[in-house]
Amino acid sequence: MDFVIPSKLNNLLGDELHLLPCKIQCKREANVENYFRPYNAEQKDSDDNVILNCSFRGKPLIGKQIDIPCGYKGVFCEITKDSSEEKESLIAKSSCEQLTYWNWDKQPSKEDSFLSALDWISVSEALNA
């Protein structure tokens, strides 16, 4: 599989990236705005970060904004298939520097595997320095 990165990636403008604790078995567009509306409940955690609350399919979610580590970007890709060569390519379409991370039943913390994985970026850089 080829990985293609254009010379300039546009940041998402007006769009938001949400990491939800679920897997949806569907590969078509959905009217997300009608079913998922995050809102700020004006709560703060121990580090004075804003905690978000919303629901998805009737289940409550608790989330917070996460910055992509300095020097890195989140990249959104699209898989394309060349039918003549039966070769797939992964093409970077846009990028982001922030995402909203959600949990079902607890406040996001460093105990979560995704958030602790982000810590390994700085650990890895320190070990390789």
Q: What is the pLDDT of residues 27-51, one digit of tens each?
A: 788 777 776 766 656 677 777 778 8
**Residue indicated by tokens 């992964």:** 90
| Cα–Cα nearest to 18, from 79, 74, 77 | 74
* DSSP annotation of 9: P
Quote the domain boundaries for residue 42: 2-128
Q: Are 18 and 102 in contact (CB under 8 A)?
A: yes
What pLDDT score was predicted for residue 40? 59
| Cα–Cα nearest to 68, from 29, 100, 109 | 100
CATH number at residue 15: 2.40.128.680
Q: For residue 120, is pLDDT > 60?
A: yes
pTM above 0.75, yes or no: no
The total number of structural domains in the chain stands at 1
Q: What is the mean pLDDT of residues 109-120?
A: 87
